Structure 1
Amino acid sequence: MPTLLDGRGDLEYAIQQIVLSPSENEYFDQLIPAIKDATTGGKGQALLQTLSQFSDDREAEIERICKSNHQEFTSSVNQLLKVREGGNKLTNDITELIKAIQASTEKLADQKQALKESRAVRTNIDETTTALVACLEVLRLANYVHDLLNQKSHYAALRALDELQNIHLRGVTQYKIASMIQKSIPITKKLIADAVMADLNTWLFRIRETSQFLGELGFYAVEQRRKRHRERAEKLGYLADYKLNSAIELVADESTEFDVLDNEDVRVDFTPLFECLHIHNALGQTDKFKAEYAATRKQQKDLMLPTSITLVDSETSSLSEMLESIAGFAIIEKATLQKAPSLRSPVDVDELWESICQSAISLISKALPEVNNAEMLLKIKGVIALFIQTMESWGYPVRSLDAFLLILFRKYAELLKRRFSDDFQEIVMTDDYMPMPINNGDEYDKVVNVSWYTPEKPREEIRFPCVLPFSQMYPLCCIDIRNFLNQFYFFSDDHFQQPKVIDDTLRSSLDELLAEKVCQSLVERLGSQYLGQIVQILINLEHFETACRELEQLLAAARSSSSVGGSVALSATEQFKNHKKTAEKRIFELVNSKIDDLIDTAEYDWSAQYGTSETSSYMQELTQYLSTTMTTVLIGLPTEIKELIYFDALGHAAEKILSIPLSPDVRRINPNGVAALALDVKFLSTFVETLGNPILQETLDELRQTIALMQSGNTDEYYDISTRNKKYGRVNAMNGPLLLEKLTQAVASPSRAEKFTAFSSKFYSRDT
């Protein structure tokens, strides 16, 4: 049923429906919507007019009907009047109803307007509440970021800030709080970056404080590896050829694990570094962080190194502390490179390492001149070698440190040479140059063990006390030589990459010490007038020559595999050998000088009227001197040298004795003078026979034959070449005639002069 009245036709239709309603309820059901729609749409007047028109039409119809039927009309009029009255009443009711409905409609409209306004306010409140909740959430997250920052949860704070910026702020961009928080985000990020850097700096400071302890642990770990390697090398000899940090050693020791960075004593947590790197990476500041971290580590490197060190403390603590700090610093760098390869490049780490090495080498070099003790320098080398092996185990290049060890070795060699030079010189200068007495077997064994000496008798046949051929200086020098060798090779223990340098330096230094400080010092003392001292020097020279030959073999055997093969030659060996001849000549000089002195005391009366039956005193003294010298002073010499000295001394004595009658001062010699000389020569010959060496007799042949010639009754035999060669072959061709001439009386006869002239001409013509 239509309820909307758009025009008059609709109103008429609605009125017809109202009038035609079969019941009162339906009547009102039709009437009320029509009144409501007319009132609401502003057509209330039109509804009244339509109702009036409908009423007039009905009256006209009634009047027409009444004209046709008056009675009925009258009746109808009455009814109509009643209806009209009812209609008027109904119209009034409708009017009142319309007014009431209109008033109700206006009130309803006001209520609706109020409801609409209430709904708008509610909507605004809801929107405000939603916005406030969103803003509060943003503010809560902003505060939460700062709370996380205060709790040092830097990465969580950064993630919350990222969530705040990319998610929550987008929903409140229309509010001022969003712009305020947006402006604070860069500041907050900087706060996070600064906070994480502060934590990193704290971590770096703690790392710096523990660097020395880390280095100490690193040294300890390598020292333990050294110990294990030595134990394995003792069990398996071939392992001794492999150095520490070699592949074989690393494989053999891989069962023993020790983490310098994580153990019972210390644990280095890299979390602050990783967090800082991660946060700067999230902030897009990785390059800046790398630069700052590199600058900080360089600064820490500079702060870690002292301005100066001392190397003369007994425990080398200053050097150890510096190297331990460097080791700990370098271990952290290498661990950082392994754990965070994007932070540190190998080139950067190696450059920083090389810088540290050069700084350390510079500090050690400045302090090195104050070291004047080889043992202290050996301790310094040991600390540096341990440092090198520790760093080598972490993969660091150590070429510059190896080169510096060569500098240390040269200084070490110089200090050793200087010290042993003084020792050798003192030993040579303070020696008594007497055969060394031995009181007991223990003393004997010690001397034999340290000296290069092979006794002539077995140990069990030796009776104590006894005397060794060399003087005390020889075993003392042998001890020093062995110490010198050992201390040289001590430098190569643990770590030294240039053993050939040790071999060459040791050979040259030892050669120089033996040649200049021992051999030359002994040669200088050959100027002594004491024969026993010269003899002892000769014996010592011989033993030193033997020692040098033994040393050559020892140096060749101990030579490193990197050295060129072949024998080792010491120039000192040849010098000792050559200067034995010098000592022998000096002995000859002293013996012959003594012989000259004795023979110069000889007094022969060449014109004696009577003969003598007593040997001259000088001859007795001469034989006594030769006998005593050979049995006491020269007893320690080898037999061949003693025989040579005897041979030379007897030859010189014979020549000196022969020179007595040949002297220009002796003009005439009678048979009595010859007999006195012959008696002395016989005494000397008898003494030589007691020596039991036929060769020594040859030294007197010329003297004996000359005496025989002078005592010969037939001197003409001398001028017969065949007879002379047979009987007087050793007589000097010039001395024989000269002595025969002195045997003549006051003036030589013409026949004798002619014979001498003829002999001389024949002799020279034969020689020609």
Structure 2
Amino acid sequence: MAEFDIQQLVLVSDATNDAENLEHLGPTMKDVYRNNKMKPFLDQLGMFIRRKEMEIEKMCNSNYQEFVQSVDRLLKVRQGTVDLKDKIHTLNTDVQLAGKELTAKKRELVESKRIQENIATATETLKTCIHFLDLANRVNVQVEARKYYSALRIVDEIQVVHLRSVIQFEFARHMQDCVPILQHAIKDAVTTEMKEWLFSIRTSQKAMGKLAMDRMSARQQRWRDRSSKGFKLKTSHNVNSAVEAAVNEESEIDILDADQVKIDFKPLYQCLHIYDELGQRAEFRSNYAEDRRAQAKLTLSSMTSSFNLKDRNTDNFESLLQDIVGFFIVEYIILHSTTNFRTQAQLDELCDLVTGLLLRMLSEGLEKCNDPDMFLNVKLLLMIYIQTMESYSYPVSKLNDLLLTLFRTYADQLETKFSANFHKLVDEDDYTPMLVENQDEYNLLQMSFRFREERSAARQGFPRTLPFSKVVPYCCEDIKQFVTQFYRFVEGFNQEQSEMDELVKDSLDTLLIQHVHSVWLKKLESRNLSQIAQIIINLEYFQGACTDFEQMMTELRSTSDTTKISLQATGLFRETRRSAENRISELVNSKIDDILELAEYEWLPSSVQEMHSMYLQELVSFLEVVMSATLLNLPESIKTFVYYDVLEHLANMLHSIFTDPNVKHINQNFVATFNMDVSFLEKFVATFDNANVAMTFLPLRQLITLLLSENTEEYMDPQIRSQHYAQVKPEDVTRMLEKLMTAPVAAAATTQEKTKRRSWGKVLEWGGLKSSSS
């Protein structure tokens, strides 16, 4: 075992180095001691050493000559080495001497290099400082050149990039403290420029507002022309409606592209950009909103002092509206060209503020204004303003409410104005047929109102007399103006249209009823037949004109309702015309009554008069004048009515005289005389060539004929009675026969007279007469 360990150590020693031998020696020695084999191991180790010595000796014996040669060479080499060592020593001494000088030079070089580096560092530092200071100076230069963003970028560059490299210097630390001041100075400068811009654009924004309102006015006219060709477009769509906007889109040009508008928004956008870079957008948004609010108030307050409508001049008001429109167009452009800066709610709030101030100003300015034309001018300007603002999506409901208020006031004032005109026209009318001098006057008259003439009248030359008096065309012309001005005010309204249509109708009714109809109705109380006859003619034409007015309002009304408008005045004119007809009859009848009061009859004359009574001549003369002159221009239907009514009244009055119950006795001579008077009147009535009018005297004629008949008993024959005496009342027959029977009889009565009296007695005793009377 010990031998094996020795061999193992030898093998290991051959294959490994000394360090590794020691590693293997430890375990081997440990095994020897553990197994208590130290002595055998030492014996083996000794034997191993002797064996190796023998091998070495053997090897030396076989290589001795070569060994001697090697030793000789080694000795020679040793001598050479000693010589070389001496030379090296000498050389080292020389090198040491040279090295000392070189070291000194090197130290000098290192010191010089350090100094050079310090100089370079100082130079670089100075360059950095100079660049830093130059940048700081360029901030002011850029601000003066109004290049605020560049100035702000330089400040940021100083703060972020350059300040760190020079922070060890006092001026840099001072500059670090000044960075916020520089930023604030840039902000103040850009804000100042923006405010100057806000002030400077006032002129430009007014030009922009004027252009926008002029364009809206042209747009209104284009739509008015287009919608006039289609009723549905007119009544269902207004300016700014979807349909109108689609039609107008192709002709609309961006207002900023117009030559009249020169507004550069750069100062605002630049200011907004700077505030964004500083992270202070909210502050700028708030300040800008407050500035614009104050500017809007200032604009209105400056105009309020000079706003006055008493001089009927709306130039200042129009200029104010243009200024407001321009102001809000600028806001609209800013809203849509920026992000998260202005909101629609802010603009709506500002618009409401301006609207409130505008409403108050208008209310004060129009408070004592009584001129409807001024109200119309204000409305036209307001409508253009409203539709312009609406086209830019601003709220206009309060302004529309104002228009409604203005409309009601305008309606009252227009009614007052035209009522005075109408009253004056009606009151100052001469109530004579109108004379037209030439064709031009006639054509103008036809434009005022449509009227028809008889063909015979139409063929007449000029001058020509027309049936109506001048008040008719004058009033019709005023009414057309009244309605037209009403609807001119209404034009463009988007709401309450039916209410406005009703208001127009009611106002026109009021004018016609209170200031035309009422005046004519009052004039009917006069006793001037010519005037009343002319009023009847005027009423007839006015009644026809009312139909035209109704048609005109139906066509002009703002709603799509096709129901025909009906004026109450039309019916009143019709009723008043009937009243006027009755009034003529009443006056003529009154005159007839006055003349009949002159009638004096002898109830028991001894003979028959040779001619009719004289009062009848006066009566007929009066009726001839009335019929041929006073009532000449009346329509045939009215003349027939008046003739019939008057002659019926005359017949009734004569019948009353003839059958007067207070007269107890009459004779045949009275009946014959009265028959002569009635015959005279019948001849006069026959000149009218009207069967209906001639029938008015029939009851009286049949009664007289019966009393003068040679055979009164024929009355008892039903057939004869129905043919010849149908209009005779039995009680009149009884009364008149009793008067004849009780009259004194002459002593020399003829046989014929006695026969008549017997015939009268039979009729009186006839039961049919008594039963009819009862």
Tell me which interval the TM-score lies in, with the shorter structure as reference length. 0.7 to 0.9
- 1:717 CA drift (Å): 6.1
Tell me the alpha carbon deviations over residues 256-308 of structure 1, each in whole angstroms, 9 at most, x when there is no partner.
56443344333211111111111111111111111111111111111111335
State the alpha-carbon separation in 2 of the partners of residues 234 and 653 from structure 1: 60
Could you tell me which residue of structure 1 aligns to residue 682 of structure 2? 685
Alignment correspondent of 2:568: 571
**5+ unaligned residues in a row in structure 2: which ranges?**
1-77, 746-753
User: Match of 1:734?
Assistant: 731
Matched, 1:300 2:299: no
Q: Read off the aligned partner of 1:510 and give its amino acid letter.
A: L
User: Counterpart of 1:423 in structure 2: which amino acid?
Assistant: N
Aligned-pair CA distance for 1:320: 0.7
Cα offset for 1:324?
0.6
Within 1, Cα distance between the matches of 2:369 and 2:432?
A: 39
Task: Select 1:316's aligned residue among 314, 317, 322.
Answer: 314
Q: Which residue number corresponds to residue 58 of structure 1?
A: none
Q: Shift in Å at residue 477 of structure 1? A: 1.5
Instruction: Indicate the residue corresponding to 2:214 in structure 1.
Output: 220
CA distance in 2, matches of 1:441, 1:118: 125
Moved more, 151-160 or 665-674: 665-674
Q: TM-score, normalised by structure 2?
A: 0.79
| Alpha-carbon spacing, 1:35–1:239, altered in 2? closer, same or farther (3 Å) | closer
Question: What residue is the counterpart of 1:613 in the other structure?
Answer: 610
CA contact (8 A) 1:135 1:177 kept: no
Post-superposition offset of 1:582: 0.9
Per-residue deviation, residues 414-470 of structure 1 (Å, max 9, x unmatched): 222222211111111111112223333333333234223111116762233332222
Higher RCO (CA-CA < 8 Å; seq separation 6+): 2
* 1:401 positional shift: 2.5
For residues 533-558 of structure 1, give each alpha carbon's deviation from its aligned partner in whole angstroms, at most 9, with x where no partner exists.
11111121122111222332333333
AA matched with 2:708: Q
In 2, are the aligned partners of 1:219 and 1:387 still within 8 Å (CA)? yes
Larger deviation, residues 290-299 vs 21-30 = 21-30
Matched residues in 2 for 1:557 and 1:251: separation?
A: 26
Q: Is the 8 A contact 1:405 1:496 kept in 2?
A: no
The structure 1 residue matched to 2:186, chosen from 170, 175, 192, is 192
2:467, 2:537 within 8 Å by CA — same for their partners in 1?
yes
Paired letter, 1:532: S
Distance change (3 Å), C-alpha of 1:118 and 1:437: closer
Deviations 1:457-506 (A, max 9, x none): 16762233332222221111121122222222322456666554443222
Aligned twin of 1:357: 355
Change (3 A) 1:479 1:458: farther
Partner of residue 205, structure 2: 211
Letter of the aligned partner of 2:133 in structure 1? L
CA distance in 1, matches of 2:252, 2:573: 57
Matching of residue 174 in structure 1 with residue 168 in structure 2: yes
Q: Which of 532, 535, 557 matches 1:534? A: 532
Show the counterpart of 2:12: none
Task: From the superposition, tell whether residues 540 and 193 of structure 1 become closer, same or farther in structure 2 (CA, over 3 Å).
Answer: same
Aligned counterpart for 1:367 among listed residues 365, 374, 380: 365
Structure 1 residues 647-702: Cα deviation after superposition (integer angstroms, max 9, x where no partner): 22122112212222444553432333333222111111222223222322321122
- Residue 741 of structure 2 contacts residue 760 of structure 2 at CA under 8 Å; is this kept in 1? no
Q: Against the structure 1 CA distance between its residues 33 and 558, is the aligned structure 2 distance closer, same or farther, given a 3 Å change threshold?
A: closer
* Equivalent-residue separation in structure 2 for 1:746 and 1:35 (angstroms): 204
Residue aligning to 1:135: 129
Q: What is aligned with 1:456? A: 454
Say whether 1:283 aligns with 2:278: yes
Name the CA distance, whole Å, in 1 between partners of 2:228 and 2:389.
26
When residues 239 and 758 of structure 1 are mapped into structure 2, their CA distance, relative to the original with a 3 A threshold, is: closer
Instruction: Kindly provide the CA deviation profile for residues 313-340 of structure 1, in whole angstroms up to 9, marking residues without a partner as x.
Output: 4441111111011011001000001111
CA distance in 2, matches of 1:191, 1:723: 130
Residue of 703, 707, 710 corresponding to 1:706: 703
Residue 446 of structure 1 corresponds to 444
Cα 1:660–1:226, aligned 2, differ >3 Å: closer, same or farther? closer
Equivalent of residue 404 in structure 1, options 380, 402, 406: 402
When structure 1 is superposed on structure 2, of 595-604 and 737-746 the one drifting more is 737-746
CA distance in 1 between partners of 2:673 and 2:148 (Å): 127
Correspondence 1:146 to 2:152 = no
User: In the TM superposition, what whole-angstrom CA distance separates every residue of 1:383-441 from its partner, at most 9, and x where no partner exists?
Assistant: 12222232233333433323322222222222222222111111111111122233333
- Name the SS of the counterpart of 1:534 in structure 2: helix
Distance 1:23 1:500, change over 3 A: closer
Tell me how many residue pairs correspond in the alignment. Answer: 683
Question: Structure 1 pair 24/597, CA: closer, same or farther in 2 (3 Å)?
Answer: same
> Which whole-Å CA distance do the structure 1 matches of 2:462 and 2:174 have between them?
110
Aligned to 1:467: 465
CA contact (8 A) 2:763 2:769 kept: no
* Counterpart amino acid of residue 175 in structure 2: I
Partner Cα separation in structure 1 for residue 97 and residue 691 of structure 2: 185
Mapped to 1, the partners of 2:96 and 2:622 lie a distance apart of 182
Shift in CA distance, 250/700, structure 1 to aligned 2, threshold 3 Å:
closer
Identity %: 37
- Among 405, 410, 413, the alignment partner of 2:411 is 413
CA distance 1:223–1:733, shift in 2 (3 Å): same
Quickly say closer, same or farther: Cα 1:652–1:22, change in 2 above 3 A. closer
Map of 1:717-756 to 2, 5 A cutoff?
A: 727-745=724-742
Change (3 A) 1:164 1:657: same
Please state how far the C-alpha of 1:613 moved relative to its aligned partner: 0.3
Once the two structures are overlaid, the 10-residue window that deviates more, 370-379 or 597-606, is 370-379
Q: Which residue of 2 aligns with 1:4?
A: none
Check if 1:159 corresponds to 2:157.
no
Would you say 1:433 and 2:431 are equivalent positions?
yes
**Local SS of the residue matching 1:527:** coil
Q: TM-score, normalised by structure 1?
A: 0.80
**RMSD between aligned alpha carbons?**
3.7
Q: Equivalents in 1 of 2:355, 2:522: separation in Å? A: 49
* Separation in 2, partners of 1:155, 1:628: 104
Structure 1, residues 694-728: CA drift from partner, whole Å, max 9, x if none?
32232112222332344346666667877665654
Aligned to 1:550: 548
CA distance in 2, matches of 1:144, 1:673: 139
* Partner of residue 604, structure 1: 601
In the TM superposition, residue 169 of structure 1 has moved relative to its aligned partner by 0.9
Change over 3 Å in CA distance of 1:197–1:34 after alignment to 2: closer
Question: Residues 223 and 443 of structure 1: is their aligned pair in 2 closer, same or farther, counting only changes over 3 Å?
Answer: closer
The one of 643, 646, 668 aligned to 2:643: 646
**1:657 corresponds to 2:654:** yes
* CA distance, structure 2, for counterparts of residue 31 and residue 554 of structure 1: 139
The aligned runs of 1:754-765 (5 Å cut-off) are 765=771
**Structure 1 residues 118, 337: CA separation in 2 closer, same or farther (over 3 Å shift)?**
same
Distance 1:116 1:370 in 2: 103
**Shift in Å at residue 619 of structure 1?**
0.9
Report the Cα distance in structure 1 between the residues aligned to 2:681 and 2:553, rounded to whole angstroms.
51
Match of 1:95 in 2: none
Q: Which amino acid aligns with 1:598?
A: I
